[in-house]
Chains A and B, each alone.
Chain A
Amino acid sequence: MADVVMTNMGDVTPTRSGWFNRKVVGLLLAYVALLFAMVVILFPLLWMFLSSFKGQSELFARDMTLLPNVWTWENYVNVWFNTPFPLYFWNSFYIAGLTTLFTVFVAIYAAYAIARLEFKGRKAFGLMLLITQMFPHIMLVLPLFAIIKALGLFNTHIALIIAYTAFSLPFSIWMLRSFFAAIPTELEDAAAVDGASLMSTLHKVILPLVGPGIAAVAMYTFIQAWNEFLFALVFLQSQSLRTLPLGLASFQEEFTLRWDLMMAGGSIVSLPVLIFFLFMQRFIVQGLLGGAVKG
């Protein structure tokens, strides 16, 4: 009660200095600070997008302007039709797609098991997932390189799909686990009473309830696979197999000083994940917080 009275007084009581009271000034300062921070933080990205619409002469001009004087699609046309970029795009798209499919499929069952089913070694498995997060990828890449070569998978996309799936799994399982744990056990009990098998309870009763969790895991995995660079660098050799990050990085050597191509390419690579992210960010944030922080 006391709380309500106090806040009401603060908000309602008209005072002479009402417009300048501390709360209003504080909020205004917060807006100014946030907008300033946003401009500073997003400026490099904005500069890339805007640069991608500038022609060569403007890109290397002495005097710079924020907006292009002449807007041109030329860089995008060049990247798309005069470089192997579409091929890289397709490679990345289906590698990330298949990785996401496999990861989600494997993670759902493992996450459900460690969230809900009592079995020996459950805790140990959970701990193992956490510990693998501490293995530096740069250290794993050396033995994996040897293993991949021995299996005859060097310079194949399969090698990348397997590696990405395995590396996304621990975090994905951990993330999904908390979504399963949040579902009341009564639902399962009711299904069991109705005579449903464990598998059909999982599929028909539980899975529909963890939709947001699955969306979060899928997005996380897709973004990881779409962005990954090191394994692609080590496992692939042929130009035609390159993924987007690898292809874009190789622009640096093959088209030295073609910043026009790199800015357009960079924009194209970022766009799908940015659009995806802006639509789904609520789910991703929820999933990350559920999995990573509440432990």
Chain B
Amino acid sequence: MLQKQRARFGYLLVLPALLLVTLLNVVPLIQALILSVQSQNLIRPNPTAFVGARHYLRALTSDPEFWSSTIHTFQWTIGSVVIAYIISLGLALLLNMEIRGRAFLRAMFLIPWVVPNVVTALLWKWFYNGQFGVANFVLMKLGIISEPIQWLSTPEAAMPSVIAVQVWKLYPLMTVVLLAALQNVPKEVLEASRVDGANPIQRFFYVTFNFIRPQSMIIVLISAIWTFQSFDIVYLLTGGGPGGATQTLAIMVYTKAFWATQLGYASAIGVLMMVLLVSLGLAQQALEVFFLKRAGKNG
């Protein structure tokens, strides 16, 4: 009786959340799938124009823009996540030492995470400004470069420049997660391996890293999902330019829908993006299973 009552109470409590999430996450997803097989146009909507897989075929076989955007998305995602992970790991290891003011330092390092993306984009745009930007000024004063670099408006420099900004956004949360993971590494095991004669590098790879691998994988996956679909930073910094050099899939969906008004085609690219994202998630799962198996064999 009580069991039943608690179950009913459960449904009641979940209902509002379920409704909201369904209406604004699940229904739009289905709607996006429907849009992607229709010839929808933002200016003259025509819901009955079924075109089947035509948009998908167009993207995959005859639109070089789709492929270049896909490559840029991977460059942008992998570049940002890998660099952010290396930096966060270094910071987390440093912050894990028994130092004074650790709480203060941790808070300072987290600051970029809360700065609104629009502000992030604007401040870096000012920072990168070819004529008046401080980046060029400092590098020239230090003698590292001899003439100002047009960070955001030369095709070769643009992608690394926007990646640097995303790294600045991504590393804080990664650092916190890795720091929490590091604090769970048992001191006795580290001590034992020291006694056994392992040097610091061996201790890191054979002991510490094994303990922080699960958290590392989760935070890398979450960061990759965010970065893969992120829109505002690149949009505000370069708008996808120069000459499409930083056009990611997210930017392409936006421009196809709201500038070219091709709602149906844009939806198809959105769906393809999602397929890529899900594959990314599955790949991560597979990797985890692989590592678990290997760990099982070794242990």
Q: Identify the A interface with B (CB < 8 A).
A: 3, 6, 26-27, 30-31, 33-34, 37-38, 41-42, 44-45, 47-48, 51, 59-60, 64, 106-107, 109-110, 112-114, 117-120, 122, 125, 128-129, 132-140, 142-144, 146-147, 162-163, 165-167, 169-170, 173, 198-199, 223, 226-227, 229-230, 234, 244-246, 248-249, 252, 259, 262-263, 266, 269-270, 273-274, 277-278, 281-282, 285, 288-289, 292-293, 295
CB distance from B190 to the nearest CB of A (A): 12
- Is A136 a contact partner of B274 (Cβ separation < 8 A)? yes
Please indicate which of the listed interface residues B3, B20, B108, B129 has the most CB atoms of chain A within 10 Å of its own CB. Answer: B20
Q: Does B29 contact A (CB under 8 A)?
A: yes
Please indicate which of the listed interface residues B132, B191, B281 has the most CB atoms of chain A within 10 Å of its own CB. Answer: B132
Q: A136-B274, A170-B25 are in contact. List 7 more A-B contacts (CB 8 A).
A: A109-B17, A135-B29, A142-B257, A142-B266, A146-B45, A147-B31, A281-B106
Q: Does B295 contact A (CB under 8 A)?
A: no
Q: Does B105 contact A (CB under 8 A)?
A: yes
Q: How far is the CA of A259 from the CA of B133 in the complex (A)?
A: 11
Known: A143-B28, A245-B116. A118 touches B20 (CB 8 A): no
CB distance from A70 to the nearest CB of B (A): 17
The residue in chain A whose Cβ has the minimal distance to the Cβ of B214 is A293
- Is B225 a contact partner of A119 (Cβ separation < 8 A)? no
- Is B236 a contact partner of A249 (Cβ separation < 8 A)? yes
Q: How far is the CA of A48 from the CA of B35 in the complex (A)?
A: 43
Q: Does B23 contact A (CB under 8 A)?
A: yes
- Is B215 a contact partner of A266 (Cβ separation < 8 A)? no
Can you list 7 pairs linking A and B with CB atoms under 8 Å apart? A26-B97, A138-B253, A142-B257, A167-B24, A266-B119, A278-B107, A292-B218
Q: Does B273 contact A (CB under 8 A)?
A: yes
- Is B119 a contact partner of A51 (Cβ separation < 8 A)? no
- Is A169 a contact partner of B132 (Cβ separation < 8 A)? no
- Is A140 a contact partner of B28 (Cβ separation < 8 A)? yes
What are the residues of chain A within 8 A of B231 when measuring CB–CB? Answer: 137-138, 229-230
Q: How far is the CA of A262 from the CA of B266 in the complex (A)?
A: 32
Please indicate which of the listed interface residues A113, A142, A198, A252 has the most CB atoms of chain B within 10 Å of its own CB. Answer: A142
Known: A120-B7, A125-B14, A198-B5. A281 touches B110 (CB 8 A): yes
Please indicate which of the listed interface residues A138, A226, A269 has the most CB atoms of chain B within 10 Å of its own CB. Answer: A138
What are the residues of chain A within 8 A of B8 when measuring CB–CB? Answer: 119
What are the residues of chain A within 8 A of B103 when measuring CB–CB? Answer: 282
CB distance from B114 to the nearest CB of A (A): 5
- Is A270 a contact partner of B257 (Cβ separation < 8 A)? no
Q: Does B277 contact A (CB under 8 A)?
A: yes
Q: How far is the CA of A163 from the CA of B24 in the complex (A)?
A: 7
- Is B267 a contact partner of A117 (Cβ separation < 8 A)? no
What are the residues of chain A within 8 A of B127 when measuring CB–CB? Answer: 44, 47
Identify A270's interface contact among B119, B177, B191, CB under 8 A.
B119
- Is B25 a contact partner of A140 (Cβ separation < 8 A)? yes
